[in-house]
Amino acid sequence: MTLEQAIPNFADWVFEAIRFLPIFMIVFAAAGFMIGYLVSAVRRGPVEGFYAVATVIGSAVVDIANTSVRRTLAMAMLAVQESIRRKVLVAFAVFIVVLLFAGWYLDVKSDNPGRLYLSFVLTSSNYLVLILALFLSTFSLPADIKNRTIYTIVTKPVRGTEIVLGRIIGFMAVGTAILVAMCLISYLFVVRGLSHEHRVDGEIQVTSTELSPDGSLQGSTTYDSHHRHTITMFDDETGETDVVMGHHHAVELAADGYQIGPPEGALAARVVRRGSLRFKDRSGKPGTGVNVGHEWAYRSYIEGGTLAAAVWTFDGMTADRYADGFNLELNLRVFRTHKGNIEKGILGSITIRNPDTGARIRSSEPISFAATEFSIDRQFIPRQLKAIDSDGTVSDVDLFEDLTDDGKLEVWIQCSERGQYYGMAEPDVYVLENDGNFAINFIKGFVGIWLQMLMVTTFGVGFSTFLSGPVGMLATLSTIVVGLFRQFIVDLVSGSMEGGGPIESLIRVLTQANVSIDLDIGRFPTLVVKFLDARFLDVLNVITMSLPDYAGFSTTEFVATGFNIEPSLLAMQVLRALTYFVFVTLIGYFFLKTREVAA
Amino acid sequence: MSESMTADALPEETTDASASDVVVETRNLSKVYRDFWGRQKVNALKALDLEVKQGEIFGLLGPNGSGKSTTIKLLLGLLFPTSGQALVFNKDASDVSKNERIGYLPEESYLYKFLSATETLDFYGRLFDMPADVRRDRVNELISMVGLDWAKRRQLKEYSKGMTRRIGLAQALINDPELILLDEPTTGLDPIGTREMKDLIITLREQGKTVLMCSHLLADVQDVCDRIAILHQGELKELGRVDSLLKVQDVTQMQAQGLSKEAEEKIRAIVAEDGGELLSLENPTTTLEELFLSIVTDSEARPGRRAQGDN
């Protein structure tokens, strides 16, 4: 899996967020007040307008303080009943139908059916639920206003907060029920879809010692579900197959012959420890990696056969955590400047080093490995390592006693082949802590979907307090689209996207000017165009930054590629979603409060 | 001391007039409907001054588009005034807390069609934050009061117009309100339903509640209202007690039993002697319908002018 952005440390993030929140709240309140006052002043004049805004703010405090749970739940209940009447279960039926037909168009011969199945169920649940939330949330309140059923509501002691909150809670209850059902069915679908059986094909026999140095028994399974495995027996009774299509099987010798177990490893949830990355350039000095040109700047490259190295520093590496050593997983990219032996991986080395520069033993002997491109290598780093001490003699050292400093440890990765490069980013190399529980990870993936649904519902209800149904739906849809294209807009604003803003782009399109040449319309017009574009981009930036990053909320990739969704990531998402929930609910309340329901 | 005694001795009419009893008050209340661009579309209500006192049934009367519903919506906070003030229980109409003491029956019963009668009333009960047991009793009580026991489990979409109206009334009374606003309470009801509605409105007054209703069905207003205001094209045209408004001042009515022919002749002679003309031996009040039509005709002929004198 490629993590496009490193997950920030939760504590740092929360600290930053808490520091930023008051500023945000002041800006938010000030902006709200200014807009409210401007509108009010235009309608009623400057003094009356100010008085009206003050009244609204005063009554808002009273309303929020008097918000009753019973009334809110009554509104929520009504939203649930309304959803059922609006045949919300159709969405669920669509999901079932999609699953039933899935078998027809999912590639059963895929290299990794587990990943395929998981992305499929997660993506389809995600989109269906978001569409459902979009329709439910945006049409309800406008329909109430249009049918005037709202008259009998707002003439009761119901606060605007209760109307907005009740709807969000009600629609979320419906969505949650559907999502839980989808989660269960998806899980069964994936587990059943991946389950298959093999038998031993032919006999298991001693193969030549060349292939199997210890002279163990090898054989092959039958061809089932579009694949077969090779069996290797560790001893007379237990063995394992190789990994094909993302899974392997255990093999056991029972009374009635060899038994091959169910598929294992297809549904994983790796719990990983991530380190921080720095680079050494080709002369061994601290530096940055190389950009190999066509690649996107996310990964940096180190040159083979030089002193260039990628150094990860891991924290918390202690003997009680990893009694026998640890598993290091590498997801390196390879950039070849010459073809070399295309059948074989590019060779490299892993060195474990002590970050303490005054330590007696600085570094282990290099452990060599061949990088397999496009798949994850797992290297076991044993506790007992060979090391060269300061005298130049090779000795046995203990990983934790001799090579760590207060739990810190450095992993140096170098490419050994001259003219070839390794590419890496910080999340590409990590220590595998253990294999987490897949089912829990699967649920966490659905929690991510749930949070997206919460935001769509909140925005939908928020927009529906002042827009008609279809317009509100389009507005909510726009927030999703902007959220999904957030990275593009960020790049555009930061200037890393070539071609300039909308006016400049238009001029380039019309004059057929390449994006890489300077704008040729004269000095002053260029300044004007650039200035206007910059202001437009500023506005776009503010809008983008204040809308949720839906792509960032999607954790389906983690589940599909078998990584545990880190609790800190989930916690950040929950906090982000709740912040949106609170602020959008407030905005919705003010819109509802200041509109004429009967107009 | 003597004043209070005098007040006690006087008929109800005078007691009502004390200022503290004012339940609904509008001051210079105006409403202009504007289009999207802020251009004036309709001047729906022009500087309305009204006072509704506690314990009376007040009728707002007027043809379609005269501003009756606008007034009620302004009083409920469903619309915001363009200028002036609408006060209910001395609170601004936009104050949500006033709703605790208000019941409102909208023009058509805008209820959720997918709920049953019981669910509907229970839902509105929750909106008053009523605890479950109180709610259950109140719901049952109201359903029997409006005579819908037999249909209380059916969804409102299966209800006839009259039944929906009844359940609408029941929801307006769920909180045992002090002030009840009824927008066209008798539309869609058959004669029996109309009669029952009118009886109920009178019962509400007997319970000490204040009723503000608007209607264009004159007979209904005449039957139940203590005081009326007649609106036309957003202006107040007439305001006063129904009985005094309808009294025909220059006609005397006399009813007697067992008069002899001679006595009748004597009366005729007296009338003739005084230069009068005996119309009939009955002496009717006019109907509200006649009064209403005359005001509307007068208003159309001379817009912007308050028709006739005060009561």
For residue A402 the two structure tokens come to 């001799």
A82 closest CA partner among A151, A136, A150, A158 = A136
Strands A300-303, A270-274: parallel, antiparallel or unpaired by DSSP?
unpaired
pLDDT band at residue B16 under the 50/70/90 scheme: very low
At B282 the pLDDT is 52
- Report residue B97: phi and psi, to 5°: -65, -20
> Which pLDDT tens digit goes with each residue over B270-307?
877 877 666 555 545 666 666 777 777 777 777 666 65
For residue B288 the two structure tokens come to 């509200």
DSSP B10: S
For residue A475 the two structure tokens come to 């507005």
Are B106 and A81 an interchain contact pair (Cβ–Cβ within 8 Å)?
no
At B309 the pLDDT is 44
A77 closest CA partner among B127, B187, B237 = B127
Whether the CB-CB separation of A98 and A184 falls below 8 Å is answered with no
Are A157 and B114 an interchain contact pair (Cβ–Cβ within 8 Å)?
no
Alpha-carbon distance values, B62 to A394, B59, B67, B237, B291 (Å): 108, 10, 8, 9, 12
Q: In which element (H, E) is residue B33 found? A: strand B22-34
Radius of gyration of chain A (CA): 30
Is the pLDDT higher at B140 or at A287? B140
Cβ-based neighbours of A306, under 8 Å, separated by 6 or more: A282, A283
DSSP A212: S
> Which top CATH class is A272-435?
mainly beta
At A459 the pLDDT is 94
For B100, the closest chain A residue by CA position comes to: A157
At A20 the pLDDT is 83
**Mean pLDDT per 10-residue run, chain A (599 residues)?**
62 83 86 87 82 86 88 93 83 80 73 84 89 90 89 90 93 93 90 84 64 65 83 78 82 82 82 86 83 70 88 86 84 84 84 81 83 77 80 79 84 89 86 85 92 93 90 90 81 75 86 79 84 86 81 82 84 90 91 83
Task: Quote the CA–CA distance of A83 and A78 in Å, as a whole number.
Answer: 9
B48 closest CA partner among B22, B27, B78, B77 = B27
Residues of B in contact with A159 (CB under 8 A): 96
Query: For chain A, which residues lie within 8 Å of any Cβ of chain B, measuring from their own Cβ?
Result: 55, 59, 62-63, 66, 68, 70-71, 73-74, 77-78, 81-82, 85, 147-159, 596-599
**Which residue intervals of A422-522 are DSSP H helices?**
438-464, 469-484, 486-494, 502-511
pLDDT band at residue B311 under the 50/70/90 scheme: very low
At residue B11, does pLDDT exceed 50?
no
Interface test with A, best of B94, B129, B133, B169 (most A CBs within 10 A): B129
- Report residue B230: phi and psi, to 5°: -105, 125
3-state SS, A227-242, equals ECCEEEECCCCEEEEC
Whether the CB-CB separation of B198 and B224 falls below 8 Å is answered with yes
For residue A75 the two structure tokens come to 């509104």
At A429 the pLDDT is 87
Looking at the DSSP bridge assignments, the partners of residue A430 are A274, A329
Domain map (residue ranges) of chain A: 10-193+437-482+564-593, 272-435
Are B126 and A71 an interchain contact pair (Cβ–Cβ within 8 Å)?
yes
Task: Quote the CA–CA distance of A259 and A510 in Å, as a whole number.
Answer: 70
- Three-state DSSP at B216 gives coil
Whether the CB-CB separation of A269 and A563 falls below 8 Å is answered with yes
Q: Which CATH superfamily is domain B20-247+287-301 in?
A: P-loop containing nucleotide triphosphate hydrolases (3.40.50.300)
At B215 the pLDDT is 84
pLDDT band at residue B211 under the 50/70/90 scheme: very high
A137 closest CA partner among A597, A473, A466, A579 = A473
